[in-house]
């Protein structure tokens, strides 16, 4: 799979279908909204007042209003390597700034392995379904750690290799297959990067859309209910802290 590069950051660009899917109700309601609600619970403490949130791989800006409603930040910084998506994110930013919970929104063109931000400038970094597109994952985690203030939180939500390597995802989307990881491997990678978290800061959702074999149909029919520890996890959510 070929990759693109910007500012030293290698990533695999999304397909036309993938870019369209990121504008759908399914993505915004069943994927993004659910993940942000879960990540907020995993933080186990109130978000800082007037926080600065960095949305890495912000795409078309679908998370902006949800972030404003959930965390009431003073500022959101959206960063993405795909210029056409940033153009659409500008519309989302304008809508958010004129909404019920307006906040300052800045959009920056850049990659996750070389974030165009000063060290210690963010209270929260959101990495939602972005990491599995990146080739230079170790460098990206080092950048997330760098831009967070001591005590800042990385909200990390990812699909695991069990899902990314399924036939339906291979057919419709594009990813660097050589860097895909299991939930356990992602957790180990976060710890190796210097982030701190306990079991109370981790969840392993097993949502219907992440089960490419049957999309949860067998479970809804009462025929099969896979249990944690006896299934291949498809998602991992973590609220990881940069120690002070």
pTM given for the model = 0.86
Structural domains of the chain in order of their starting residue, each with its CATH number: 4-42+50-221+232-241 (3.40.50.150)
Is 113:144 a contact under the CB 8 Å cutoff? no
Closest CA to 137 of 12, 2, 49, 244: 12
H helix runs in 106-194, sequence order: 137-147, 161-164, 167-172, 183-192
Task: Per-residue pLDDT tens, the chain, 244 aa: give them.
Answer: 344 555 445 767 777 887 888 888 888 988 899 999 999 999 988 999 999 999 999 999 999 999 999 999 999 999 999 999 999 999 999 998 887 777 899 999 999 999 999 999 999 999 999 999 999 999 999 999 999 999 999 999 999 998 888 777 777 777 788 999 999 999 999 999 999 999 999 999 986 655 555 544 445 545 555 666 667 788 999 999 999 8
């Amino acid at each position: 799979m070929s990759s693109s590069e910007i500012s030293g950051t290698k990533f695999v660009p999304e397909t036309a279908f993938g870019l369209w899917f990121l504008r759908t109700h399914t993505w915004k309601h069943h994927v993004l909204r659910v993940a942000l609600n879960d990540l907020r619970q995993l933080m186990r403490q109130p978000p800082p007042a007037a926080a600065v949130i960095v949305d890495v791989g912000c795409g078309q800006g679908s998370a902006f209003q949800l972030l404003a409603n959930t965390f009431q930040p003073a500022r959101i910084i959206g960063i993405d390597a795909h210029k056409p998506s940033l153009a659409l994110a500008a519309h989302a930013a304008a809508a958010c700034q004129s909404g019920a919970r307006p906040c300052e929104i800045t959009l920056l063109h850049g990659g996750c392995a070389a974030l165009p931000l000063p060290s210690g400038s963010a209270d929260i970094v959101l990495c939602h379904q972005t990491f599995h597109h990146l080739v230079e994952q170790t460098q990206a985690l080092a950048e997330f750690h760098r831009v967070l203030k001591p005590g800042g939180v990385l909200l990390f939500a990812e699909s695991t290799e069990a899902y990314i390597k399924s036939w339906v995802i291979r057919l419709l989307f594009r990813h660097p297959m050589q860097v895909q990881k299991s939930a356990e491997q992602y957790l180990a990678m976060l710890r190796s990067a210097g982030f701190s978290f306990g079991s109370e800061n981790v969840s392993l959702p097993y949502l219907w859309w992440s089960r490419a074999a049957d999309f949860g149909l067998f479970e809804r029919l009462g025929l099969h209910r896979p249990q944690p520890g006896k299934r291949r996890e498809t998602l991992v959510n973590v609220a990881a802290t940069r120690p002070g």
